[in-house]
Structure 1
Amino acid sequence: MSGFDLTGKVALVTGASRGLGKGFALALARAGADVVVTARNADDLKDTVSEVGALGRRAWPVELEVREQASIESAMEAAWSAAGKIDILVNNAGCNVRKPALDVTWDDWNTVLDTNLRGVFFVAQACARRMVGHAYGRIINIGSVTCVSGYAGLGPYGASRGGVKQLTMSLADDWGKYGVTVNCLAPGWFKTAQNAVMYEDETWVEYLTEKIPLKRPGAPGDLDGALVFLASDASAYVTGQTLLVDGGISVGAVQAVPARGANPTKADS
């Protein structure tokens, strides 16, 4: 089982100030990695840095706005300068605008696609340019069950996540010859800052739970094993794949309606 050990590796996690991103940083640290953590405001990373440190690993906070090319480049320079290398990228930063399709605006579309798709590509590109020189890299793009399933009220988000799935396959083919693997980790329904308002509706939660074969939404820690697998040498011969961690909801013919009981929201992950 030594293939799962990340001792001596350095990971970079985008959107790591809270939610799934913070959980990813801690999971990698528990597996032995040191972690560069990023957010739009570096001050928001204090708790993540402290908790990584409490696990006996090093953490470096770096400011990053994934919608700005200059910010991506400066963040990568800062990350490599601080840590000396990046072995693992967890491309997690994302956002959502939850609205009926008839109400989606031009700006809504641009906000979601610029963050969730364009940002994912250019962060991966900036990391890969450095990884190829070391002939090693693990890139994990964070998608969602919307990579493979459509939901009302999630038009731009679903388009962006479907694009991440396709992008993952393309980059895996492009960069495999350099020793860089690229995979997509696709969570199902987990409570996050983006969707917390929905979980206040008990009727909706019951409806959702009934549609999940394992009969519960995702819980903290449910993604850790898949993440460490894709980040480690245990997955050395795995690339271009989308790994769904969704309790089985993607296999059902009838899907939950995500907008049920919720007001339109706009939040960063």
Structure 2
Amino acid sequence: MLPHSSTTSAFLQELFDLTGKIALITGSSQGLGCVLARGLGQAGATIVLNGRNREKLRNAVCALTDEGLKVHGYAFDVTNSVDIQQAIPRIEQEVGPIEILVNNAGVQRRGQLESIPEATWREVLETNLTSAFLVSNQVIKGMIARKSGKIINICSLMSEVGRRTIAPYTASKGGLKMLTKAMAIDWGGYNIQVNGIGPGYFLTEMTRPLAENPEFDAWLKSRTPMDRWGDPRELVGAAVFLASPASSFVSGQILYVDGGVLATL
């Protein structure tokens, strides 16, 4: 719900204040997930990092703790329902109720559609789409009981458009867009807002090979009205907005942060 304040400046600060909130960000031991976690932490939230690689997770927790943030790390597989059913109650018992959930875990596997093995197809769909269903369905129990919560699904430009050689990814992110809308419909009556963020092309370790390819780099910049790659930190504002009281009447939406790619042919 919206905060109440006697002064305009205090009201605006409260709108985006996450102090005291607990946020779980899946797939956050590195990359965009870690950047989003840092941003939520800087806005005041206690952040819970997740990943399967315990060493990477431990390093991320130490790094963010050194920055003065309140950080916890829990290693579990977001595609494994048994892992999730054990991890979420443990987090809520040891850290507190999860009030913000960011379903960020994702993978990319490239290849011509006709030659993609079934195992690869299933891996991408389970990581990018099914994990959001599994984790949300466990976290939502507490949100419904409290009649309050925020869920942010990390979608993609590929929730709307496609490119060659990434059919499983496109299918998973298109499904995640529609799952976001379904969650917003089913859970809106409990004062739970569910939205998505659709990143465009951002410079990360995963995309660095593309950025270092002169042909792809030139194509991407020509396709992007802002004529550049995104900085991962440029996603933080969208995440804080969707996690905060400022978005108390926003639900079922996908906020594309893409430098204008979807606005042009």
CA contact (8 A) 2:200 2:256 kept: yes
The residue aligned with 1:114 is 126
Q: How much has 1:196 moved relative to structure 2?
A: 2.6
Q: How much has 1:195 moved relative to structure 2?
A: 2.9
Structure 2 stretches lacking a partner, 5+ long: 1-11
The residue aligned with 1:7 is 19
Partner residue of 1:231 out of 220, 229, 243: 243
The residue aligned with 1:19 is 31
The residue aligned with 1:155 is 167
TM-score, with normalisation over the residues of structure 1? 0.91
The residue aligned with 1:173 is 185
After the TM superposition, which segments of 4 or more aligned residues of structure 1 sit over 4 Å from their partners? none
CA contact (8 A) 1:25 1:52 kept: no
Aligned length: 253
SS in 1 for 2:102: strand
TM-score, with normalisation over the residues of structure 2? 0.92
Amino acid at match of 1:59: V
Cα separation, 2, equivalents of 1:193 and 1:40: 18
Cα separation, 2, equivalents of 1:111 and 1:194: 17
Q: How much has 1:149 moved relative to structure 2?
A: 0.8
Q: Deviations over 1:8-41 (max 9, x none)?
A: 1110000011000000110001101011110012
Question: Is 1:66 matched up with 2:89?
Answer: no
Q: How much has 1:130 moved relative to structure 2?
A: 1.5
SS in 2 for 1:96: coil
The residue aligned with 1:243 is 255
Q: Deviations over 1:198-230 (max 9, x none)?
A: 222122111111110111111131101101000
Cα separation, 1, equivalents of 2:249 and 2:48: 25
Partner residue of 2:151 out of 135, 139, 164: 139
Percent identity between the two aligned chains: 39
Cα separation, 2, equivalents of 1:213 and 1:25: 28
The residue aligned with 1:206 is 218
